[in-house]
Chain A
Amino acid sequence: MAHHVTSKDIPAEGESLKGSHVNKIMLISTVVFLVGAVGCLLMFNSEDHFVRSGFSYSWLFAFVYFSTLSLGGCFWVTLHHVTNSGWGVSVRRLMENLGFVFPFMALMALPILLQPKVQNDLFEWIKRHREVSLLPVKHHGEGDHKMEDKDKHSSLESKELERHAIEHVALQPEGESHKGESKSHGKEKAYKDAHHYLSDPEEIAKHVAEKEAKLAEAAFIVSDSTTSDALHGTHDAHDHLLYVKTFYMTSGKWIKRIALMFLFLGAGIYVMRRVSIKQDTDPKPTVKRLIWNRKFSTIVMPIFALTVTFFAFDFVKGLDYKWFSTMYGVYFFAGCAINSMAVLILALTWLRSKGYLQTVTSVEHYHVMGKLMHAFVIFWAYVSFSQFMLIWYANITEETSYFLLRNTESWNTWSSILVWMHFALPFALMLHHKAKKKPILAAAAACYLLVLHILDVYIMIIPERGPSLTAAAGMDPQLFLSHDAFWGDILAFVTVGAFFLTVFLFNIRSARLYPNRDPRILESANLHN
């Protein structure tokens, strides 16, 4: 066992990050963010409809990826307090700094929250709400059978096509291709003829422009009562599905929920971090703040649970409003927990390599953090498999759409890669205690899991892009857009990533690196497991 750390070893003023160690990195990340932001603005305002709308998905992907990292930071701080833990006091400030990025992620959500076009691209239900709000309200009995031509057009184009888009695309490659090929082809042809798919680029552009001009007339937030009346008024089975969901899904409620998430969890992490930082300079540090934070964290924990669940529902699950899975929030949370721990391990490694935190952290901290990361890799697999198996087994149309789409063509390869590389491989490699205890190996595992998390979030969001956007443009639904939307994903990822890094480093720099006057800093420094 290494030298026993006593209070003499811990400087009274703690440790702070020297500007020379961080300023250059922060400058670079800020510049990258600013340049990227200009690029993203250009993408958001692109003339080409598919480039612009495809980029909405890229942005959502990047925003969700980095939000999960900061959400996990909030989780670890709250968990640390609520369980009255002693082991991690010396890395608690890192958790607080990571969690405190979350309120700033609200800025990255603004393009999604404030841009009606982006919302229309991403969330078919919001678009449908806007569409129906423009239809003349029909009352019971009077308009049932005499649908106007105009209405018919809009209802056929936007409802039917989009409705069937995902199933249709997903079923194409496998769907009865062996038995009765000609029959199914005939069927398909009849289906296509009936729906007048557009294929001429000019026609598509015209159609899209008309649609966008029309949608622009709709209110930014369609009121709850208008929404439900209009949806009810169309007397359409699919609109009825949205009608019965109006208790939850209206754009007003959606925006309010998201605002509350950022407000409450943001306030929670801000207060816990503030109280912790106050302790650093208190000449008479007592257990008062520790106990206060412990009590406060019991309030923050349920707020966190609600936030992470509805964050997943409102930003990711809402991409396909027909689909539902009660496990989705937990699945999303598992990703948060693993990868925020990975970020913490990397941040700790970076700080230790610069000579900080040497007295208060040791390989034992790596061991605990590695164990938690490993445990959550198993938890992730457990939850995602539970979700998959129940849906696969029950085989209900509304539920299978998610996996059907993600197991179609090349997405199937990526989904399989996720199973083997996100669970099987890290599980086996991290079993040995040295893989968690050796800083270099733990940091390598953390990097690896962060890369796999990119794939995980990518598969959550991007498969919706092709079918949704092509169907919305009146085309035969395609799995992928014709242009290479992948570069947009990278641009958004780098931009939001640079923002995340800047805020995280700013947080690290703005406070001491560990709570040097916490009553249990010695317990943590002498951690042994």
Chain B
Amino acid sequence: MSTTAKRVYGYLAEFDSASALYKGAEKVRDAGFKKWDCYSPYPIHGMDDAMGMKRSILPYFVFFGGSAGLLTGFSLAFVTQVLIYPTVVQAKPANIFTTAAFFPIMFELTILFSGFTVLFGLLGLMQLPRLNHPLFASRQFARSTDDGFFIAVEARDANFNPEETKALLEDAGGKNIELVQEED
């Protein structure tokens, strides 16, 4: 047993079922918490609303990623095959109206850049990959990938209060409430 003070991550509360988790999440949301999350073995429909989550800004990234792909594809083809080295195939003209020939590559690069933006944008927004998570310190949390439904409220949240938050979680139907401390 170490005697040094550990940093408190927050409260972890278990819920009986997906619907209990859903209703609990609505209460935590209404209490005005911002830094908290729900954990369940499978996705639950409508959870975004129950948690009061805003729409992700990822689509906007993807729009600009895709547009960048479109422009890259066009300029790559246009500069190389029309401006620098006009490529004449079957006596077809090499000018702006040849764009039809470039559409496939413009299309492909739009898709590719959009895909990359989705992947890396998502990883960035979720701050992944990461090597550890403070909740791994909790033994019961392992069940979140099996049959456990959890809500974790972080101590960093401005509304966090050791007693009141615990009472709120109990009131919301949480069980086995545990103060999770970060491991060294």
Q: Which A residues contact B (CB, under 8 angstroms)?
A: 1, 385, 388-389, 392-393, 395, 431, 433, 528
Asked if B2 is at the interface of the complex by the 8 Å CB criterion, the answer is: no
Which chain B residues lie closer than 8 Å to A528 at the CB level?
45-46
B68 CB to nearest chain A CB (Å): 15
Which chain B residues lie closer than 8 Å to A392 at the CB level?
100
On chain B, the number of residues with a Cβ less than 8 Å from chain A's Cβ atoms is: 13
Is the Cβ of B90 less than 8 Å from the Cβ of A1? no
17 inter-chain pairs at a CB distance below 8 angstroms, sorted by A residue, are A1-B46, A1-B49, A1-B50, A385-B100, A385-B103, A389-B100, A389-B101, A389-B103, A389-B104, A392-B100, A393-B90, A393-B101, A395-B90, A395-B92, A433-B55, A528-B45, A528-B46
A395 to B45, CA, bound (A): 52
Nearest A residue to B66, CB-CB: A431
Is the Cβ of B63 less than 8 Å from the Cβ of A431? yes
Which chain A residues lie closer than 8 Å to B100 at the CB level?
385, 388-389, 392
Instruction: Give the A-B pair count, Cβ closer than 8 A.
Output: 20
Nearest B residue to A395, CB-CB: B90
A115 CB to nearest chain B CB (Å): 40
A441 CB to nearest chain B CB (Å): 17
Majority SS of interface residues in chain B?
Answer: helix
A404 CB to nearest chain B CB (Å): 14
A24 CB to nearest chain B CB (Å): 41
* New A-B pairs, 12, CB < 8 Å, besides A385-B103, A389-B104, A395-B92: A1-B46, A1-B49, A385-B100, A388-B100, A389-B100, A389-B103, A392-B100, A393-B90, A395-B90, A433-B55, A433-B59, A528-B46
A528 to B43, CA, bound (A): 13
A395 to B63, CA, bound (A): 35
A389 to B100, CA, bound (A): 7
A388 to B104, CA, bound (A): 12
Nearest A residue to B89, CB-CB: A393
A388 to B46, CA, bound (A): 44
A121 to B72, CA, bound (A): 49
Q: Which of B73-109 contact A (CB under 8 A)?
A: 90, 92, 100-101, 103-104
B111 CB to nearest chain A CB (Å): 11
Nearest A residue to B98, CB-CB: A392
A250 CB to nearest chain B CB (Å): 36
A395 to B50, CA, bound (A): 58
A395 to B100, CA, bound (A): 14
A87 CB to nearest chain B CB (Å): 12
A422 CB to nearest chain B CB (Å): 16
Which chain A residues lie closer than 8 Å to B45 at the CB level?
528
Nearest B residue to A389, CB-CB: B100
B55 CB to nearest chain A CB (Å): 8
Q: Which of B41-69 contact A (CB under 8 A)?
A: 45-46, 49-50, 55, 59, 63
Q: Which 6 A-B pairs have the closest CB atoms?
A: A1-B49, A528-B46, A528-B45, A1-B46, A389-B100, A395-B90
A104 CB to nearest chain B CB (Å): 40
A63 to B105, CA, bound (A): 38
Which chain A residues lie closer than 8 Å to B49 at the CB level?
1
Which chain B residues lie closer than 8 Å to A389 at the CB level?
100-101, 103-104
Which chain A residues lie closer than 8 Å to B50 at the CB level?
1
A431 to B114, CA, bound (A): 14
B149 CB to nearest chain A CB (Å): 19
A389 to B45, CA, bound (A): 43
A362 CB to nearest chain B CB (Å): 13
Nearest B residue to A394, CB-CB: B90
Nearest B residue to A428, CB-CB: B63
Which chain B residues lie closer than 8 Å to A393 at the CB level?
90, 101
Nearest B residue to A529, CB-CB: B45
B23 CB to nearest chain A CB (Å): 12
B77 CB to nearest chain A CB (Å): 14
A352 to B90, CA, bound (A): 56
A121 to B100, CA, bound (A): 35
A383 to B169, CA, bound (A): 55
Which chain B residues lie closer than 8 Å to A385 at the CB level?
100, 103
A1 to B48, CA, bound (A): 10
Which chain B residues lie closer than 8 Å to A395 at the CB level?
90, 92
B151 CB to nearest chain A CB (Å): 18
